[in-house]
Amino acid sequence: MNAQGRFARQLLQQADALVRQDPKRPSQASLRRAVSAAYYALFHLLVGESSTRVIGSAAENSALRHTLSRAYNHGDMVKVAKWMQSNSLPDYLRALPNATRPPPDLLMVAGTFVQLQEQRHLADYSLGQPFLKADATLLVQQAEDAFVRWAAIREDKAAGLFLLLLLVGDRMKPR
């Protein structure tokens, strides 16, 4: 596992620790940070996997992978995740060799990414709406499940296309 993958795991562990920190009355700050950490855990897992696919896993390329990881755009990534989640790639992408029907685990990972990003926005910017411990705990569990499911399908052809599209978004659209 590369540095980004380790960091993603640390964020997931942090999210879990934050939702469990105070079993009776967790603070809104802890619950909101847990939701945010869960999103960023999945974000960094996928960015790390994608940049490794593009650059390779050799240790001497770590600086290049890190530089590439700065090119990922949250908005583009959620758009791609929505395409994947609904199995509705645009026509110009359906003709690509790896545009096979995504396995259910990939649909779940994409859907979790979409949901976590939406909830992270609420957690970070909608302070008037309180987060419940049960909701934050469920979101952290969904992120954990996404990590497990990703490990099961990371070599799938559709997963490879997903990783590429996370980087390029809809910039592959013919002009």
Structure confidence at residue 49 (pLDDT): 95
Instruction: Give pLDDT tens digits for 83-115.
Output: 999 888 888 888 877 777 889 999 999 999 999
Looking at residue 20, its amino acid is: R
Q: Are residues 49 and 77 in contact, defined by beta-carbon separation less than 8 angstroms?
A: no
pLDDT digits (tens, 9 = 90+) for 38-69: 999 999 999 999 999 999 999 999 999 999 99
Q: What secondary structure, in 3-state letters, does 74-122 show?
A: HHHHHHHHHHHHCCCCCHHHHCCCCCCCCCHHHHHHHHHHHHHHHHHHH
> What residues does each domain of the chain span?
3-168
Other beta carbons within 10 angstroms of residue 158's beta carbon come to: 19
pLDDT at 87: 83
Q: Is the dihedral of CA 65, 70, 75, 76 positive or negative?
A: negative
pLDDT at residue 127 in the model: 87
Nearest to 31 by CA among 12, 10, 43, 15: 15
Total residues found in the chain within this entry: 175
